[in-house]
Amino acid sequence: QVQLVESGGGLVQPGGSLRLSCAASGLPFSIYIMVWYRRVPGQQREMVATINRYGDTHYVNSVKGRFTISRDNAKSTVYLQMNSLKPDDTAVYFCNAALISNYWGQGTQITVSS
């Protein structure tokens, strides 16, 4: 059974930092494309960052220079380091493992507010 478990969410002040983790099990993690998405109530889900098996990364423009996605294949874990957080980053963040099949975590809430 495939499981993706996110952690690291919470409340942070504008300008602060958080690191999200997503621990995967039940799949050959190293070959999967790992993706962080976020969703704000009433809006479409947005792809935030991706990382492939070779370590190539891609970011949505709004987080470039502030967020960094990385992966540790030995730990089957993908990370999202978020710096210089803004209120607009407030959302539920989900990790996704994509290849032939798609798997999703349960999501973790990030709230950026003073």
pLDDT tens per residue, range 65-109: 999 999 999 999 999 999 999 999 999 999 999 998 899 999 999
Secondary structure element (H or E) that encloses residue 46, with its range: strand 46-51
Model confidence at 24, pLDDT cuts 50, 70, 90, reads: very high
pLDDT tens digits, residue range 55-64? Answer: 999 999 999 9
Distance CA 17, CA 81 (A): 7
Residue 25's pLDDT band, with cuts at 50, 70 and 90, is: very high
Average pLDDT over residues 2-24: 96
| 77-82 and 67-72 beta bridge pairing | antiparallel
CA distance 102 to 84: 30
Q: What is the mean pLDDT of the chain?
A: 96
Residue 100 is classified by DSSP as S
Two tokens at 88? 């607009």
How many angstroms separate the CA atoms of 49 and 60, rounded? 6
Rg (CA), the chain: 13
> Rounded distance, CA 49 to CA 63, Å?
8
Report the candidate in 39, 8, 9, 7 with the shortest Cα–Cα distance to residue 110: 9
